[in-house]
């Protein structure tokens, strides 16, 4: 049963093919052949631009992202990346005080999208090796020579900004935009590095000594102030002393002694006299 159905389907297909004109089959075959071998379309991916070449000649038209038709044989489409790219370069230079400096810098850049055809025509796809790396080396040397080795460390943000501005001007002339620039490291000779470390150590010790001296001065001033306050207090106390105040202090002392007395008279032997508290300056004697 299944074999009969298959035979019937095959016969129906053959019958339909026989009814199709031969010209139509030839046209369809030609279209398929052209599509497979000549590819009359091109796809431009994200972050890319298409450079149109007519028999090798660069055209003014730049293809954006998406699917585009092209004329087979006559036209060729070259894809160029216009996304942000990163380049790290080591550069040797000399500072204003003739110190050897080795710098490692990082540059983020991209091709100006609507000028990608000009970059391809004038520079090609090897623009990093031909334009960017030499520009970085020259700018680093030129800017480094304007600063001393110590200033390269203390004024690092200003040095980095100067290099970025110079690179931006140089690369933009070649239709390459600078997105970011940074100095990764500065390396100096061993002798200079040791001298910098010694100077920093001396500055730290001097700062510590100054802080200790300031602390000692403050403590001395505090002691002087305290002593002056105590002396002023004693002076005021002596100025306020009078006979009445002395008598009052004696009475207060006698009252405290009476409060502490337990009511028992001391045992007197040998005919001695017992003093009475609070009966005048000179104690009186009571005969037994």
Domain that holds residue 51: 2-81
SS3 48: strand
The answer to whether position 7 is within a domain reads yes
CA distances 165 to 138, 175, 264, Å, are 13, 15, 104
Backbone Cα Rg of the chain: 52
**pLDDT band, very low/low/confident/very high, at 219 (cuts 50, 70, 90):** confident
pLDDT tens-place string over residues 24-65? 666 766 666 666 666 788 999 999 999 999 998 999 999 999
Alpha carbon 2 to chain centroid distance? 76
Using CA atoms, how far apart are residues 27 and 38, in angstroms rounded to an integer? 15
The answer to whether position 282 is within a domain reads no
Task: Output the six-digit token pair for 83.
Answer: 């996304």
Residues making up the chain, counted from first to last: 288
SS3 186: strand
Q: Identify the helix (H) or strand (E) that includes residue 193.
A: helix 190-240
pLDDT of amino acid 213: 80
Alpha carbon 78 to chain centroid distance? 39
**pLDDT band, very low/low/confident/very high, at 182 (cuts 50, 70, 90):** very high
pLDDT (average), residues 172-196: 86
**pLDDT band, very low/low/confident/very high, at 98 (cuts 50, 70, 90):** confident
Residue where a domain terminates, one of 48, 81, 114: 81
The answer to whether position 265 is within a domain reads no
Instruction: Please tell me the least confidently modeled range out of 195-199, 219-223, 283-287.
Output: 283-287
**Which of 199, 203, 204 is CA-nearest to residue 188?**
199
Residue where a domain terminates, one of 81, 99, 130: 81
Q: Are 184 and 94 in the same domain?
A: yes
Check: pTM over 0.75? Answer yes or no.
no
What DSSP string describes 129-148?
A: IIIIHHHHHHHHHHHHTTS-
Q: Are 116 and 27 in the same domain?
A: no
pLDDT of amino acid 18: 58
Q: Are 107 and 165 in the same domain?
A: yes
Q: Are 166 and 95 in the same domain?
A: yes
Task: Output the six-digit token pair for 172.
Answer: 């933009």
Q: Are 176 and 136 in the same domain?
A: yes
Q: Are 36 and 122 in the same domain?
A: no
pLDDT of amino acid 64: 94
Q: Are 64 and 108 in the same domain?
A: no
**pLDDT over 80 (residue 81):** yes
pLDDT tens-place string over residues 246-271? 676 777 777 777 777 666 655 655 55
Using CA atoms, how far apart are residues 111 and 257, in angstroms rounded to an integer? 104
Q: What is the CATH number of the domain that holds 164?
A: 3.30.479.30
Task: Output the six-digit token pair for 21.
Answer: 């004109």
The answer to whether position 104 is within a domain reads yes
**pLDDT band, very low/low/confident/very high, at 283 (cuts 50, 70, 90):** very low
Q: Which residues contact 23 (CB under 8 A, 6 or more apart)?
A: none
Residue where a domain terminates, one of 121, 155, 188: 188
The domain total for the chain is 2
The answer to whether position 181 is within a domain reads yes
Q: Are 102 and 72 in the same domain?
A: no
**pLDDT band, very low/low/confident/very high, at 115 (cuts 50, 70, 90):** very high
pLDDT of amino acid 170: 93
The answer to whether position 247 is within a domain reads no
Q: Are 77 and 107 in the same domain?
A: no
């Amino acid at each position: 049963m299944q074999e009969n159905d298959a035979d019937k389907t095959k016969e129906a297909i053959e019958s339909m093919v026989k009814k199709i004109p031969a010209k139509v089959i030839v046209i369809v075959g030609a279209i398929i052949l052209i599509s497979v071998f000549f590819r009359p379309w091109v796809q431009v991916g994200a972050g890319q631009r298409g450079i149109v070449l007519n028999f090798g000649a660069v055209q003014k038209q730049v293809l954006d992202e998406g699917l585009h038709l092209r004329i087979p044989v006559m036209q060729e489409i070259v894809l160029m990346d216009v996304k942000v790219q990163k380049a790290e370069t080591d550069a040797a230079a000399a500072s204003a005080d003739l110190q050897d400096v080795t710098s490692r810098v990082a540059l983020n850049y991209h091709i100006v999208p609507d000028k990608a055809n000009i970059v391809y025509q004038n520079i090609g796809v090897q623009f990093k090796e031909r334009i960017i790396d030499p520009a970085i080396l020259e700018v680093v040397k030129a800017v480094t020579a304007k600063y001393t080795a110590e200033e390269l460390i203390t004024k690092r943000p200003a040095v980095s900004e100067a290099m970025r501005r110079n690179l931006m001007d140089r690369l933009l002339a070649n239709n390459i935009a600078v997105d970011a620039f940074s100095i990764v490291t500065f390396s100096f000779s061993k002798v200079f590095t040791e001298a910098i470390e010694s100077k920093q150590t001396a500055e730290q010790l001097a700062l510590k000594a100054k802080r200790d001296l300031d602390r000692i001065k403050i403590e001395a001033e505090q002691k002087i102030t305290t002593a002056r306050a105590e002396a002023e207090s004693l002076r005021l106390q002596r100025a306020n002393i009078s006979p009445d105040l002395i008598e009052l202090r004696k009475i207060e002392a006698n009252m405290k002694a009476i409060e502490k007395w337990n009511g028992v008279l001391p045992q007197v032997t040998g005919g001695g006299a017992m003093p009475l508290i609070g009966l005048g300056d000179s104690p009186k004697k009571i005969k037994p």
